[in-house]
Chains A and B, each alone.
Chain A
Amino acid sequence: MNKQILYISLFIAVFVSACDKELTEDVRSQITDDYINTVPGFEDAVRGSYSHIKSFYGGGEPGVSLSVFGTDEFTNGSDGSFKSLNLYDNGLNPRLSVITTVWNSLYIGINNCNAVVSRADNIVGLNAAIKPIRVGEARFLRAYYYFLLVQTYGPVHISTEETVEVMKTATRSDIKDVYNVIIADLDFAVANLPVSASNYGRATKPAAEFLLSKVYLTRATTTAGSNADYTKAADLAKKIISGYNFALLPNYERIFDQGAGEKSSEVVWAVQNSANLQTNGAGNTLHLYFIMEYDVLPGMQRDIVNGRPFKRFRATPFVLNQLFDRANDSRYNAVFKRVFLANKPGNYTIRGKQVSLKTGDTAIFVPDREYTTGELANMNYSVYPPSLQDERRFPTLTKFLDRTRLDISQESGSRDFLVFRIAEAYLIAAEALMMSGKTGEALKFVNDVRSRAARPGSVPAMQVTEGQLNIDFILDERSREFLGELMRWFDLVRTKKLVERVKKYNAQAAVNIKDYHILRPVPQDQIDRTQGSFPQNSGY
């Protein structure tokens, strides 16, 4: 018997000692943090730094809702959960999801950039020539993320080191300090980035100069700014216009050609998207939001070419009726679609009349004037003159339509988003020069943009004079050129015209907008989770 006990004890002892190593974690399907300390990991972290910009520019509704709604350009369509951003009502509060989404994604992006910047010096084997370029890219992106933050929320927390341990504190730094961080990052980027990148889509020196010029232009009107900022903004803008191979495309409409327009002399820097569903993530979803509800009308059904009508944004009467000199300016017709051709042939009743629609017949017309009953009698299709236009029926902005999607339900579009167009450099130069009193010099840049936009034979008619230039004219011109391109709310805030122009041109928003609306509320999550106090913006 004792032998048996001995055997069993031995048996147990062997297993017990053998198994302790079983307690080591076996990580296989996940990648641990130290990967970034290797050369390929470092490169991947740089690539990771780019991905966050998509969450603002086209990856879902947050960015577009925060920059297009509640301006003089666009009011709300019938659908969507973020109309409060247009109405400035009590739904625009610290718990509104898009307010939180933008904050979160930008700070996650900043920490990603911080990881690149903080670790760059300790990557064994990293090519010394590559290193400053990659750090420059990360600092360019970090500057961009802080720039979006400071414009949206005002004073924000600054962190330029990677978070490596639990931190519960945060402070709202003065915007002066935020701008200092942004400018230091961009100075580094300008000094270290190449004129053209090893991969198209990476940050370049002109892109960094472009952003820096916009940063100066913006800072100039804040408490942190001064008139010197205008000079710097103008100098940088002029350098981008003349110092490289960028040029205005001869035809305004071609800028928005899917494919060719995404990579042209017009484009200084663009957020990259592709048709590859694996790399594209949420992709560019902007194609969804500006379309009228065409698909329920006689002769129509949803298809890929006409798009999926989310009916979020509807141009204001100001844009539709006042902004464009349509006889001379090509830009209205270039970006608004007012006719839909039948894609569901059949017999229908329209305005009490039996009509037969064949594929390709006009099915919907959204004219810019009223029609008499007599005129309407000859029109065998649905007609929505201004008096019948509403939150569902309105001219459709076509800039972002995506005809290459795989099917009608697909939300992730493949179009690059043109963040920096050379035309904007012209208008930045014009604004900066005008604001620093050099209206004569400014005029040239405005007229260059207008000449390009002129309909054939209308170049002379499009020229403006020095006397016509003022900040409202600059804003009007920016609207004509960049309508819907996710910058209007920032433009209005920068020029301190938000409340005035919204009250004047956006009837829905006019009711509630107040002076404090030049900043968005800080997300309640950030306030609740911060140890100590993290003050809210006034008014919210």
Chain B
Amino acid sequence: MSQQPIKGKVTDSTGAPLANVSVLVKGTRNGTNTGEDGSYALNIQRKGNEVLVFSIVGYTPTEIPAGTGNEFNVTLNPDDKVMENVVVVGYGSQRRKDITGAISSISEKSLREVPVTNAPQMLQGRAAGVYVVNQGNKPGAGVQVRVRGRRSFNAGNDPLYVIDGIPITGGFNDINPNDIESIDVLKDASATAIYGSRGANGVIIITTKRGKSGITTVNYSNYLGVSTPYKYADVFDGPEYAEYKRESRRAVGQYIDNDPTADEKLFEAVELESIKLGRSTDYQRMMIENGFIQNHDLSILGGTEKTRYNISFNYFNEKGIIPGQDFTRYTTRVNVDQGIGERFKVGLSTLGSYSVRNGEDVNPFGGALAENPLGKAYDEAGKLIFLPTGDGLRSNPLSELVPGAVINRGKRFRLLSSFYGEAEIIDGLKFRMNFGPDLVQNRKGNFRGTFSNERRLGAPSANNSEDFVLLYTWENILTYKKTLGEKHNLDLTGLYSVQTRNFESSNAGVTGLPVESLEYYNLGQTGNPLANTLGSNYSKWTILSYMGRINYGFDGRFLVTFTVRADGSSKFAAGNKWGLFPSGAVAWNVIEENFMKNVGIFSNLKIRASYGSTGNEGIDPYQTPGLLSRTSYDFDGAAAFGYRPSSIPNLNLRWETTTSANIGLDFGILNDRINGSIEVYRAETTDLLLPQLLPISTGFTSILTNVGSTKNSGIEVTISSQNIVPKKEEGFSWTTDLNFFSNREEITELSLGKVDDVGNARFIGQPQRVFFDFEKIGIWQSKDAALAQSFNAKVGQIRVADRNNNGVIDPNDRSILGTDIPDFSGGMTNRFGYKNFDLSVVLFARFGNMIQSPLHNGAISNLFGRYNNFDVDYWTLSNPTNAYPQPNTNQEFPIYGSTLQYFDGSFIKLRSMSLGYTFRESVARKIRAKNLRIYVTSQDPLMWSPYVRDHNGIDPEVDPGGNPPAANTPLSRKFLLGINVSF
């Protein structure tokens, strides 16, 4: 038996060479991969019955008996089940042409294009109807995902995430983005119905990479980069601040211009010195520095026919542009599939993740903006001055950055596993059991030293909190597939599942620590527990579900899906626990009809329609019984804790139900050069789980009830186009993926029927969140002094519209100023290729929404003459502007100041621009690699946003209304350099 050389070339059906095809002698570990030109060479030991296996993702594996020849040229045919064409639909997968529901899929290629810091960001601008916005710019900040807008007020609008078949709570931030193979978003009722109660807000299915049989591949990739602030906020410098402060006193007659000692009376020594020297301290620029980001990934994939595995490791680290804010994540993933005999299969997926995040809940940035620029940050000896001015509230914002002064450290550990066993009982009938435990532990430590703004020379304080979540899903699935006759395809699925979530937490806080270096590591060193900071908590909920699904296809032309799901939730009282959610869908593959055979322009044409209902129970447990709150009092020093009623018993609480209809059209034109789909939908949510605000004279502020309904409708368009197809290999290519969507929300009924609920700012016919306030029409000018007086206002104050012209400003003059729903949003990805270069450009935009910016209604905007302020055009006698009111030291915030915080939230962001270069195989070989690519990426290099450009806004994308202003950290630009190599 001698080694004999064999060789050959692998091509695709068009004759183009296929690189990286695995060539393996069946039953052995002997094999190789094809080169760039599709050729391979291999030595084999001949016994006579050798079989060569050629495989690569996206093509049907082909086996060739080696026989006696020594050259085997093989043509591989595309596999119908390549990722672009197979859609994971929940409890199974289907060919795209068999799909009846509205599903967006994001391919691995798109997912890889932009290096992201967390997995959900991969969805941004990539799928029509999926609205993803950043929740903040701090390292480690998450995103908010909405599929087809909001439906619910209180039961949550977060989609359900399913990772490798296991529904999870708490998002998928912990997943290493590089482990994800595909993301499918189920949008309409028919597609989500199988997840029943949990699917009302859409379902996002994440499939991670699994091993495949063939040669073991080792991939390594990394990127390194720096981040720089996108923009500095424009606040007053020293001289501007001085003048602003004078004006704030002039307004109330406390600053007399012709008094030569006026400045001395107003300013303190350090301020006077700064004014004299023309000195100005720019705390913002003293605080911000360049950030740093790095990511390393290592994965090993491989397997034999029976055993396949994928193991990966990831390290990610980001230091933000504000010192002390950083995020570090370590993840490992192990996926193993093992076949046992012909009919059994078992496997597991395990994600282990550990991350450390500093500075999540603190933000010295606001302090830097508000700090008096006439103060001095450092003394002559270069030491920080803790109180740069006499203002007792304003400690030096740079003191917060001193290591050990302010500690806010979160640690998170997660072990998310899924185990499955599958048995093919008879041909076509499969039983599968999934068990998915998800363990999450969070721990947070806080410390504030004496020299921190929070303590301001008080004794150090510290607290610890911890929580632990065990969520497990146990599913039993029976599927049966059968083709009857030639043309009838039947696919039946039955499911029984249990999902339970257990939550436990504890926390403790103290003040008066004797030594700062204790940080939060020994709370017992002081005898002063802080009130309300000693606690523990427990909650649990369970959902039981039964589901049945029938997929029937006739001749590949007509497809029908019918699903029924029954869910029982522990959160509702007896009698209301169960909800039944049916749905159905039909599709017609028009392209398969004979009459289409001669219509050459279309390569795909399908019409879909679905109708069905889903449920939502995403409320906290324990809402049905009346509960008590603890009260504290004492009798002569002896504790007298007590209880008071804090919620009204509510046994009628039941499922919130969304019924939706969807019509979709899939098309392919010019031999699939242009592909796309259009979806139109309308959803109605009834029995809204709505906190009904009560007149407080009842003793309660609100109660959660099922009242009212909302309507949701929209259109989504997705188009993929190959604009320029390369004439020859390595020629110029250009493709575009475009999606845009528009969603309308409308409240149709509230607790009193079709009556506006002004107290909650909810209005019939309007979206859920509207901005309801007075309307600023300018500033009261001197010429209107008498009129101003009649409105009880003064010249220089904000003038709001007297909408009902009754001569007084009263609550009836409030109106709806706007909504946070964009007119439309969308994303566009352009990819260019030439020779070994590839370039991708990702854009993300939204238009027509209003944002509420608390930054513009807080310390930095209150024109109080105390803190530093945004450099705004304020009113003075000699500058009769209509933009901002006169500074006034007698009011901590301007009257009607809330009217200054509403802005147009439209923006276009150039999310990323990435240029890559793939080395020729001959070069890669030199480092024994199969594949070598380097790239540079610029993230967020450009943005168009009137809010940022004209109004000192920080980032229009981060919903400021949903966050305390402390969450505002400036947007940064990132510049990354990366390398991908596989062996």
Contacts and interface: CB of A to CB of B under 8 A. Distances in A.
A90 B751 CA distance: 32
B79 interface: no
B633 interface: yes
Contacts of A29: 536-539
Interface in A478-500: none
Interface string A26-67: 111111110110000101111111111010000000000000
Interface in A1-47: 1, 4-5, 8, 12, 15-16, 19-20, 22-33, 35-36, 41, 43-47
B792 interface: yes
Contact of A107 (B500, B537, B697): B697
Given A528-B758, A531-B752, A277 B530 contact: yes
Contacts of A1: 425-426
B699 A529 contact: no
A95 B645 CA distance: 26
Contacts of A385: none
Contacts of B456: 408-409
A200 B627 contact: no
Given A33-B645, A277-B528, A272 B891 contact: no
A16 B895 CA distance: 62
Interface in A327-376: 349
Given A22-B570, A528-B758, A276 B636 contact: no
B362 interface: no
A461 interface: no
B643 interface: yes
Interface residues of B, number: 93
A378 interface: no
B544 A19 contact: yes
Interface stretch (B40-48, B435-443, B687-695, B849-857): B687-695
B512 interface: yes
Given A29-B539, A166-B703, A274 B637 contact: yes
Given A48-B642, A168-B751, A107 B536 contact: no
A114 interface: yes
A179 to B, nearest CB: 17
B536 A22 contact: no
A531 B758 CA distance: 11
A31 B634 CA distance: 21
A165 B892 CA distance: 40
B49 interface: no
Interface in B639-678: 639-645, 648-649
Contacts of B496: 12, 15-16
Interface in B741-767: 751-752, 757-759
A182 interface: no
B793 interface: yes
Given A24-B570, A47-B640, A200-B635, A277 B645 contact: no
Interface in B562-604: 568-571, 577
Contacts of B732: none
Contact of B643 (A35, A201, A528): A35
A266 to B, nearest CB: 16
B78 interface: no
B392 A406 contact: no
B890 interface: yes
Interface in A290-328: 293, 295-296, 301-302, 309
A279 B634 contact: yes
Given A29-B537, A49-B642, A278-B531, A166 B697 contact: no
A386 to B, nearest CB: 15
Contacts, number: 285
A31 B621 contact: no
A534 interface: yes
A22 B498 contact: yes
Contacts of A472: none
Nearest to A414: B637
Contacts of A166: 648, 692, 694, 703, 705
Contact of B793 (A27, A90, A111, A309): A90
A258 interface: no
User: Interface range on chain A: under 10, 10 to 19, 20 to 34, or 35 or more?
Assistant: 35 or more
B14 interface: no
B305 interface: no
B873 interface: no
B634 A108 contact: no
B858 to A, nearest CB: 12
Interface in B540-573: 540, 542, 544, 568-571
A390 B253 CA distance: 13
Contact of B638 (A12, A199, A296): A199
A71 to B, nearest CB: 18
Contacts of A530: 695, 697
Contacts of B459: 406-407
A279 B892 contact: no
A263 interface: yes
Contact of B624 (A25, A35, A95, A280): A25
Interface in B784-804: 791-793
B514 to A, nearest CB: 12
B737 to A, nearest CB: 44
Contact of B695 (A19, A32, A199, A526): A526
Given A23-B568, A23-B577, A277-B528, A30 B627 contact: yes
Contacts of B68: none
B644 A45 contact: yes
B534 to A, nearest CB: 7
Interface string A52-87: 101000000000000000000000101111010001
B699 A32 contact: no
A162 B644 CA distance: 11
B895 A90 contact: yes
A410 interface: yes
A164 B791 CA distance: 43
B699 A111 contact: yes
A123 interface: no
Given A90-B792, A296-B390, A409 B458 contact: yes
Contacts of A227: none
A526 B512 contact: no
B453 to A, nearest CB: 10
Contacts of A167: 694-695, 698
12 contacts: A33-B625, A46-B642, A47-B643, A51-B642, A78-B889, A83-B891, A272-B636, A273-B634, A277-B531, A349-B269, A409-B458, A529-B694
Interface of B: 254, 268-269, 390-392, 423, 425-426, 429, 431, 455-459, 476, 478, 496, 498, 500, 511-512, 528-532, 534, 536-540, 542, 544, 568-571, 577, 621-622, 624-628, 631-645, 648-649, 692-701, 703, 705, 751-752, 757-759, 791-793, 809, 811, 889-893, 895
The 8 closest A-B pairs by CB, nearest first: A111-B699, A47-B642, A296-B390, A33-B626, A528-B759, A409-B458, A48-B642, A199-B635
Interface of A: 1, 4-5, 8, 12, 15-16, 19-20, 22-33, 35-36, 41, 43-52, 54, 76, 78-81, 83, 87, 89-91, 94-95, 103-104, 107-108, 110-112, 114-115, 156-157, 159, 162-170, 199-202, 263, 272-281, 293, 295-296, 301-302, 309, 349, 390, 406-410, 412, 512, 523-531, 534
